[in-house]
Amino acid sequence: MLTSKQRAFLRSLAASEDTILMVGKGGMSDQIIKQADDALTARELIKGKVLETADINSREAADIIAERTKSDVVQVIGSKFVLFRRNTEEPKIELPKARKKR
C-alpha cells in the first residue's frame, strides 16, 4: 500500500515515462497481463492507455491489471493509467519513507 507522498513521487516519475501498454478492443487478454507483468518486473513503473475501441474504461483496466499482477494503481487520468510494483530482487526506484504513526 502506497502513502500519498509515495504516490505523488511516483506520479512525478511517471510524467516523463512513455506509454508502453495499450488496451484495445481485445480487452483484458492474458497477453496484456503478461506484458504488464514483464514490464513491471523490468521497470517497476509503467504507463498504460486504454484505446477508444476498448470495451472497458481506464479505471477498470488499471484495477484488473493491478489485481492480476499484484501491483498498485498510482494514477488514472482520462484514458491513461500508471502502475507500480517493487522489484524485490533488483529495486530501481527508491520510494520516500512512510512516516510512522503515533
Q: How high does pLDDT run on average in the chain?
A: 92
57 falls within a domain: yes
37 falls within a domain: yes
Identify residue 7 by its one-letter amino acid code.
R
63 falls within a domain: yes
User: Which residues, in sequence order, are CB contacts of 95 under 8 Å at separation 6+?
Assistant: 2, 6, 9, 10, 86
Percentage of residues in the chain having pLDDT higher than 70? 95
101 falls within a domain: no
Please tell me the distance from the alpha carbon of residue 73 to that of residue 59, in angstroms, as a whole number. Answer: 9
Grouping H, G, I as helix, E, B as strand and the rest as coil, residue 10 is helix
We report the CATH number of the domain holding residue 32 as: 3.30.110.60
Look up cell 502506497; give the residue: 2
23 falls within a domain: yes
The pLDDT of residue 101: 63
When divided into structural domains, the chain yields a total of: 1
Report the Cα–Cα distance between both ends of the chain, in Å, rounded. 18
Which residue segment(s) compose the domain that 50 sits in? Answer: 4-84
pLDDT digits (tens, 9 = 90+) for 28-55: 889 999 999 999 999 999 999 999 999 9
92 falls within a domain: no
Provide Rg for the chain, Cα atoms.
14
